[in-house]
């Protein structure tokens, strides 16, 4: 299969490249330096040169607060860039997988969001990703739109890494406890995406590790699993942080019950967190903790 990947240097994208490579697979991943997805001509030329059968689009302007202060760039990359990729995919008859976000929802619900729930983004970032979804739906017939959330992985900045660094630096840890979501290990999601692109399970799916927690609970678990349980950590309300973009207070994602999806089987987030900590050499006593919980 010939697979074109956008965003291959990112937290998810770097795992996607590993998951997609295999015998007989041809994977091409231009970097942002090689190809700006907001450059329409460059996107079309890339498709014409590589003629992919599948395109996996994981490139985005992901700085949520940056999007709020620079909506022009957010729209150029997340909406226009996605539109160009979708049009180019349709032109060469490639199937398209687009990675989207829990931030398309406003978080007023108190039960897990399903793919058909009405989106209502609270931020420029969320609105730009939702507009990207619409471009994909409107321009390609064979597509998978995969909404995920709260990613952590070896190749990028994320809350888990920040918490460990701050704990080691003896810095005070204050983490919000009034936002609830589903943490997701980039490696687990990438493996599931590599599977789904071999199927014809077209449509919009939700894909996260199992279970849910607050950011505070995620940070506490990371400290415990990494042998830093004695680090002082305090829960705070989101209102204490003055950030440009609003975040949904609740953004747990699920798929409709009884529907067969390759994303249903992603392991619980605590197990995925332990695997991530092991990957980055920070798991300490974590296995015993997981066994005790079971
Ligand atoms: N992180 C999360 O918690 C989270 C949650 C939900 C959904 N998502 C979605 O998941 C996907 C992957 O997120 P991530 O956290 O892995 O992102 P990331 O680490 O910020 O990586 C973003 C990628 O996009 C590329 N990129 C940015 N602007 C570009 C442009 N104009 N042209 C070409 N490439 C460009 C970056 O290239 P360079 O490295 O060269 O700049 C990088 O490879 C995104 O669609 C995001 O919206 C993320």
Residue 282 to residues 88, 166, 210, 274: CA-CA distances in angstroms? 42, 14, 22, 9
Question: Where does 136-227 show beta strands of DSSP type E?
Answer: 143-148, 151-152, 173-176, 180-181, 184-185, 203-206, 213-214
Cβ of 65 closer than 6 Å to ligand 1, yes or no, is: no
The whole-number pLDDT of residue 61 equals: 98
Better pLDDT: 32 or 236: 236
Cβ of 66 closer than 6 Å to ligand 1, yes or no, is: no
Q: Once rounded to an integer, what is the mean pLDDT over residues 76-105?
A: 98
Residue-wise pLDDT for 147-206, tens only, equals: 999 999 999 899 999 999 999 998 889 999 999 999 999 999 999 999 999 999 999 999
| Residue that the structure tokens 């680090």 belong to | 231
* Residue 265 pLDDT grade (very low, low, confident, very high; cuts 50, 70, 90): confident
Q: Measured from the CA of 103, which atom of ligand 1 is nearest?
A: 6
| Cβ-based neighbours of 138, under 8 Å, separated by 6 or more | 86
* Residue 264 pLDDT grade (very low, low, confident, very high; cuts 50, 70, 90): confident
Element (H, E) at 98: strand 95-101
pLDDT at 59 over 90: yes
Of the candidates 5, 57, 275, 6, the one whose C-alpha atom is nearest the C-alpha of residue 154 is 275
* Residue 73 pLDDT grade (very low, low, confident, very high; cuts 50, 70, 90): very high
* Residue 260 pLDDT grade (very low, low, confident, very high; cuts 50, 70, 90): confident
Which domains occur in the chain, in start order? 2-150+185-210 (3.40.50.720)
The whole-number pLDDT of residue 170 equals: 86
* % of the chain beyond a pLDDT of 90: 88
The whole-number pLDDT of residue 292 equals: 60
The whole-number pLDDT of residue 289 equals: 60
Distance from Cα 233 to the centre of ligand 1, integer Å = 29
Distance from Cα 230 to the centre of ligand 1, integer Å = 34
How much is the mean pLDDT over the chain? Answer: 95
Cβ of 145 closer than 6 Å to ligand 1, yes or no, is: no
The whole-number pLDDT of residue 32 equals: 76
Question: Residue 279 in contact with residue 154, Cβ under 8 Å?
Answer: yes
pTM equals 0.96
Measured in whole angstroms, the distance separating CA 240 from the mean position of its chain's CA atoms is 25
Top mutation candidate among 18, 39, 60, 185 for ligand 1, by most atoms within 8 Å of CB? 60
Q: Measured from the CA of 150, which atom of ligand 1 is nearest?
A: 3
Q: Measured from the CA of 62, which atom of ligand 1 is nearest?
A: 20
- Provide the pairing of β-strand 26-28 with 173-176: unpaired
Of the candidates 98, 115, 129, the one whose C-alpha atom is nearest the C-alpha of residue 12 is 98
The whole-number pLDDT of residue 104 equals: 98
Annotated active-site residue 276? The verdict is no
């Amino acid at each position: 299969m010939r697979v074109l990947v956008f965003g291959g240097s990112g937290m998810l994208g770097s795992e996607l490249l590993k998951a997609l490579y295999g015998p007989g697979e041809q994977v091409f991943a231009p970097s942002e330096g090689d190809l700006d997805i907001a450059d329409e001509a460059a996107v079309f030329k890339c498709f014409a040169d590589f003629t992919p059968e599948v395109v996996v689009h994981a490139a985005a302007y992901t700085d949520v607060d940056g999007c709020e202060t620079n909506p022009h760039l957010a729209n150029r990359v997340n909406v226009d860039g996605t539109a160009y990729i979708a049009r180019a995919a349709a032109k060469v008859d490639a199937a398209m997988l687009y990675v989207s976000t829990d931030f398309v929802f406003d978080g007023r619900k108190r039960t897990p969001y399903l793919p058909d729930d009405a989106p209502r983004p609270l931020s420029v970032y969320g609105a730009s990703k939702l507009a990207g979804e619409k471009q994909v739906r409107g321009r390609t017939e064979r597509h998978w739109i995969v909404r995920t959330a709260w990613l952590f992985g070896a190749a990028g900045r994320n809350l888990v890494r920040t918490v460990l660094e701050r704990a080691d630096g003896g810095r005070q840890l204050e983490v919000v406890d009034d936002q609830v979501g589903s943490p997701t290990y980039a490696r687990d999601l990438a493996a599931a995406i590599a599977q789904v692109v071999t199927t014809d399970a077209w449509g919009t799916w939700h894909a996260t590790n199992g279970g849910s927690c607050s950011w505070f609970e995620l940070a506490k678990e990371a400290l415990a699993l990494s042998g830093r349980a004695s680090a002082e950590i305090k829960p705070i309300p989101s209102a204490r942080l003055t950030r440009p973009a609003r975040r949904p207070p609740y953004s747990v994602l699920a798929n409709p019950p009884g529907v067969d999806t390759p994303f249903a089987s992603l392991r619980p987030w605590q197990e995925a967190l332990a695997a991530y900590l092991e990957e980055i050499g920070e798991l300490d006593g974590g296995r015993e903790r997981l066994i005790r919980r079971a």
